[in-house]
Amino acid sequence: MQNFVFDKLNFLTAGMPLSTGKASYNRAFEILNELNLDGMELEFVHGVRMSEETRRLVKQERENKNLILTAHAPFYVNLNSKEEDKVEASVQRIIETGLAANDTGAFSITFHAAFYMQQDKEEVFNKVKTRVSEISEYFHKNNINVWIRPETTGKGTQWGDLEEIVRLSKEFDNVLPCIDFSHLHARSAGAYNTYDEFAQILETVGKELGQKALENFHAHLAGIDYGAKGEKKHLILEESDMNYKDLLKAFKEFGVKGALVCESPNIEDDAVLLKEYYKSI
């Protein structure tokens, strides 16, 4: 599948810039232009609620202002829930996110796929795969030309380490990873934070999923606080130990193109910091 061809790495905010205040998408997009940022991840984390009118407006403004969009599905997703109705609702939430992405011109959606629920990892993989297969087929049948991206998760209780996400992506032609580098760092309680480790991730993705995966990337980054159980909370980059400089060097070295979404609490400030540093390399 190919819905967007990228010529560079784009820097996006996770949701509207803070300085948007109570204003709407129009103003948010203006601010992105003013800050020389490249786009936004639409945050449907508490539910996919966006009117038809807003979808049209966002699509039009995205085109007018030449922005890149992605979307984040609701947090209430667990494709491995023991309750069937919850699994079905989770599938539905991911599909609704895909429909909203398609309507607004977002190229990729991401979601936290499942919890292990203390079950055998192989069993959980197969359950997630079955559900993602339904979603993948639905997207094909309904011409939803949007990448489906399970995200690398931040806690050991959540399904989705790098290997699982890459392995799942190999099974479907419209599935690729969303690599949250802060989650990988937190989940491993401090690893994945050197140039060599970042390079290793990019090498794995390129080798297993092809160059297209590196030229059509969807990643998340923020400062992060973590402990033995993984992610605690997001931090401002400079107030954390997240080695964003070496990550950006690795991106440049590997020719990564696509979207890097900044999820720091000071959203646009860190997005600008990342873009400025990347340009200086």
Query: Minimum distance between the CB of residue 84 and Zn ion, rounded to whole angstroms?
Result: 25
Smallest distance, Å, CB 156 to Zn ion? 16
> Which residues of the shown chain bind Zn ion in the complex (CB under 5 A)?
151
Cβ–Cβ under 8 Å, residues 99 and 135: no
Is residue 10 within 8 Å of 258, Cβ to Cβ? yes
CB of 141 to Zn ion, least distance (A): 26
- Residue number, 61 or 237, with CB nearest to Zn ion: 237
Q: How far is the CB of 78 from Zn ion (least distance, A)?
A: 14
Task: Output the six-digit token pair for 3.
Answer: 């819905």
Nearest Cα to Cα of residue 18 among 31, 6, 9, 5: 31
Residue whose CB is less far from Zn ion, 61 or 175: 175
Of 151 and 268, the one with the shorter C-beta distance to Zn ion is 151
Closer CB to Zn ion, residue 43 or residue 208? Answer: 43
Which amino acid makes up residue 19? Answer: S
Residue 35 burial by Cβ neighbours in a 10 Å radius (0-12, 13-18, 19+):
middle
Smallest distance, Zn ion to C-beta of residue 13, A: 14
- For 112-123, b where at least 16 C-beta lie within 10 A, e where not — what string? bbbbbeeeeeee
Considering the complex, state which of residue 77 and residue 95 has its C-beta at the smaller distance from Zn ion: 77
Using Cβ positions, the residue closest to Zn ion within the complex turns out to be 151
Nearest distance from C-beta of residue 151 to Zn ion, angstroms: 5
CB of 57 to Zn ion, least distance (A): 25
Computed on alpha carbons and rounded to an integer, the radius of gyration of the chain in Å comes to 17
Residue with the two structure tokens 């400030």: 269
Q: Which is nearer to Zn ion, 61 or 152 (CB)?
A: 152
Structure tokens that stand for 109 in this block = 């959606």
Task: Between 179 and 205, name the residue whose CB sits nearer to Zn ion.
Answer: 179
